Amino acid sequence: MNRMKLLRRWAACMGLAALTVSLNASAIEVQGLQGFDQLFGRYAPAGDCRRQPQIVIDVVGMTFEVAGKEEVITNPEYAAAYGPHDYQGISQWFFPFRSNDDFPILMTFNHGEEEGVLVIEGHGEGYPGGPPLSPSNAALVNGSPYARCDP
């Protein structure tokens, strides 16, 4: 019986490892965000543009405004196949920053199938046993969830 439990655990771990590899392998670097017009806009915590941090999504890419500093990312990784293999919803996933081939944060646009909602989570960094998030990434995660500000 113990041998069977170990075999099941091993199989589950191998399946999870294969899924993780396939998810990362399906992320592709994009230059700018042309074609992602439905995501364009300014996002702030709870949609309140008086609060920080803020993220601007436009044809150029992603502009992160954190603690009075701006960082523009023009080549994020789009996780085209991050959801289930038969996913047909409106959520879209991006890894904006790469560090030593790791993806420190994950951005989920239209999170929970709600248009205009953005959730930012730690991915790799910030997980138990992993390195801590950088201060700017921690601020982005702590500001989540975001929503588009009114124009």
Q: What region, left, alpha or beta, does residue 47 occupy, with left being phi > 0 and alpha being psi -120 to 50 degrees?
A: left
Q: What is the pLDDT of residue 151?
A: 62
**Tokens coding 25:** 């392998």
For the residues 9-36, what does the mean pLDDT come to? 61
Please report which confidence band the pLDDT of residue 101 belongs to, taking 50, 70 and 90 as the band edges.
low
SS3 33: coil
Domain of residue 103: give its range. Answer: 2-148
Q: Is the pLDDT of residue 20 over 70?
A: no
Q: What is the pLDDT of residue 115?
A: 95
Q: What is the pLDDT of residue 19?
A: 41
Give the closest residue to 47 by CA, choosing from 120, 147, 115, 141. 147
SS3 8: helix
Q: What is the pLDDT of residue 87?
A: 83
Q: Is the pLDDT of residue 18 over 70?
A: no
Q: What is the pLDDT of residue 43?
A: 98
Please report which confidence band the pLDDT of residue 36 belongs to, taking 50, 70 and 90 as the band edges.
very high
Q: What is the pLDDT of residue 1?
A: 47
Q: What are phi and psi of 140, to 5 degrees?
A: -65, -45
Q: Is the pLDDT of residue 14 over 80?
A: no
**Is residue 3 within a helix (H) or strand (E), and if so which, with residue range?**
helix 2-25
Number of domains comprising the chain: 1
Residue with token string 């038969």: 86
